[in-house]
Amino acid sequence: MPTLWHTYLRPKTVEEALQMLAEAGEAAVLIAGGTDLMLDLQQGRHPPVQALVDITEIPELRALEIRGNELFVGAGVPLNRVSASPLVREHAMALAEATGQMAGYQIRNVATLGGNVAHALPAADGAIALLALDARAEVASPQGRRRVPLADLYLGPGRSALKHEEMLVGFWLPLTRQKAASAFRRVMRPQGVALPILNTAVWLAREGDRIAQIRIAVGPFGPVPRRATAAESALCGHAPDEATLNAAVEALLREARFRTSRYRATETYRRHLAGILLRETVGKAWERASGE
């Protein structure tokens, strides 16, 4: 096994990290929890690198707090902290549910949301929840900071749109309001790799017995995480009754580009599950949105 990395850098600020990335050029790679990257390096899916830039000691990335009228979740907050956070549970239940189910306890103690998003898998649980919650990613680059909708971060399966010299600082989520709630659910199979066959996150706002606003994210929906907008339209403005839900499932299936993954699930099974999960998550979020 060749040496997987040569230097290990430990910046204390975002600016320092950016500088290290800029100086090293392509030869440096960010490492957060390392739960994807270390395995990719150890198993040869990622070529050895000159430098690893460890971003776990940057306080800004570890912040989880309300800022103004938004919830800020640092890209480097370990998943266990995300799922246990009362703020996340109050304002972003789907994210708490998603991060609470990912991997096992020890992995969640180090794995981060930033890594989950940057790794860019089409069914990454954290990313799917963030998408439904309308999160914006704060990206730091040598040119400065910018906030982008999550969906703009993806180029293709496993390929994020982040440039090499850029990094995720954190995610900005709208605060919850009266009569709004979210939910997440995934289906796994007991054999084979521990990635979901299908997951679904829903956020909705109620107005009386109608859905006033809704966002739905399903993974894997296509090559990159994105929202199921046709299903959203089918539900928006309606009560979630049988007929509306049927129409929404139909819309979702029309829009989705499900694939068969060998040894995991067929397209048919995913199509079937998509309807089940949509009904369950919409139902759950609806129920939650009625409580005070």
Partner 1 sequence: MPTITLTVNGTPHTLTVDPGETLADVLRYRLGLTGTKIGCQEGECGACTVEVNGEAVLSCIYPAERADGKSVLTIEGLAQKHDHEFILHPLQEAFVEHGAVQCGFCTPGQIMAAHALLEHNPDPQPEDIHHALKDNLCRCGAYPAIEDAILAAAHGLRTGEPPPPPEIPASAYAGKVVGRPHIRPDAVDKVTGRARYTDDLVFPNMLHAAVRRAEVPHGILRRLDVSKARALKGVVAVMTAEDLPAARNHGVLIDDWPILVGVGERIRYVGDALAIVAAEARAIAQEAASLIEAEIEPLPVLADPLAALAPDAPQLHPSGNLLKHIKVRKGDVERGFAEADVVLEHTFTTPHYDHAFLEPEASVAVPTEDGRMEVYVGSQIPYDDRRQVAAALGWPEERVHIVGQTMGGGFGGKEDIAGQIHAALLAWKTGRPVKLLYDRRESLIAHPKRHATQIRVRIGAKRDGRLTAVQTELYGDTGAYASLGEKVMERATTHSAGPYDVPHVRADCYAVYTNNPPAGAFRGFGVTQSNFAVESLMDMLAERLGLDPVELRRKNALRVGSATSTGQVLRESVGLLECIDRVDAEVRRLSEGADPFAPHPVPGEPHKVRAWGFAAAFKNTGLGGGAPDEATAEVELLPEGLFEVRISSAELGQGLVSVLQLVAAEEIGVEAEGVRVLVMDTDRTPDGGPTTASRQTYVSGNAARMAARVLVSALRSTLAERYDVPPEQIQPQVEGLLLGERLLRWPEVAAEMHALGREPRIRYTYHAPETKPLGEGGDMHFAYAFAAQAAEVEVNTLTGEVKVLRVVTAVDVGAAINPLTLKGQIEGGVIMGIGTALTEHFIVEEGRVVTDRLARYRMPSFEQVPEIIPIVVEHPVSTGPFGGKGVGEIVSVPTAPAITNAIYRAVGVRLDSLPVEQEALLLPIALR
Ligand X SMILES: Cc1cc2nc3c(=O)[nH]c(=O)nc-3n(C[C@H](O)[C@H](O)[C@H](O)COP(=O)(O)OP(=O)(O)OC[C@H]3O[C@@H](n4cnc5c(N)ncnc54)[C@H](O)[C@@H]3O)c2cc1C
Binding site for ligand X (CB under 6 A): 29-37, 39, 55, 75, 102-103, 107, 111-112, 114-116, 118-119, 124-126, 162, 167-168, 194
145, 75 Cβ separation under 8 angstroms:
no
**Within 13 Å and on the Cβ side, how many CA atoms surround 173?**
31
Least Cβ distance, residue 139 to partner 1 (angstroms): 24
Regarding 261 and contact with partner 1 (CB under 8 A), the answer is no
| The amino acid at 202 | V
- Identity (one letter) of the amino acid at 179? K
Q: Residue 6 binds which entry of partner 1, ligand X, none, with Cβ cut-offs from 5 to 8 Å by kind? A: partner 1
Q: Are 236 and 214 in contact (CB under 8 A)?
A: yes
Q: How many residues bind partner 1 (CB under 8 A)?
A: 40
Which does residue 238 bind out of partner 1, ligand X, none, counting CB within 5 to 8 angstroms by kind? none
| 147 binding partner (options ligand X, partner 1, none; Cβ < 5 to 8 Å by kind) | none
SS3 per-residue string spanning 28-65: EEEECCCCCHHHHHHCCCCCCEEEEEECCCCHHHHCEE
One residue of 68, 86, 144, 190 binding partner 1 per CB under 8 A: 190
Which pair of tokens denotes residue 129? 């929840």
Question: Which two structure tokens, joined as six digits, stand for 44?
Answer: 């040869």
Asked if residue 35 binds partner 1 (CB under 8 A), the reply is yes
Residues in the chain: 292
Alpha-carbon gap, residue 112 to 119, rounded angstroms = 11
Cβ proximity to ligand X, 36 vs 134, nearer residue: 36
7 vs 143, which CB is nearer to partner 1? Answer: 7
Min CB(198)–partner 1 separation in Å:
9
Partner whose footprint covers residue 256, from partner 1, ligand X, none (CB < 5 to 8 Å by kind): none
- DSSP for residue 158: T
Rounded to the nearest whole angstrom, what is the least distance from the CB of residue 185 to partner 1 in the complex? 10
Strands 28-31 and 49-54: parallel
Min CB(65)–partner 1 separation in Å: 21
- Taking the C-alpha atoms of residue 273 and residue 276, their distance in angstroms, rounded to an integer, is 5
Q: What does the CA dihedral 6, 31, 14, 155 come to, rounded to 10 degrees?
A: 120
Residues between 125 and 184 that touch partner 1 (CB under 8 A): none
267 binds partner 1 (CB under 8 A): no
Residues forming the site for partner 1 (CB under 8 A): 1-8, 10, 31, 34-35, 38-39, 42-43, 52, 54, 56, 103-107, 109-110, 187, 189-194, 263, 265-266, 269, 272-273, 276
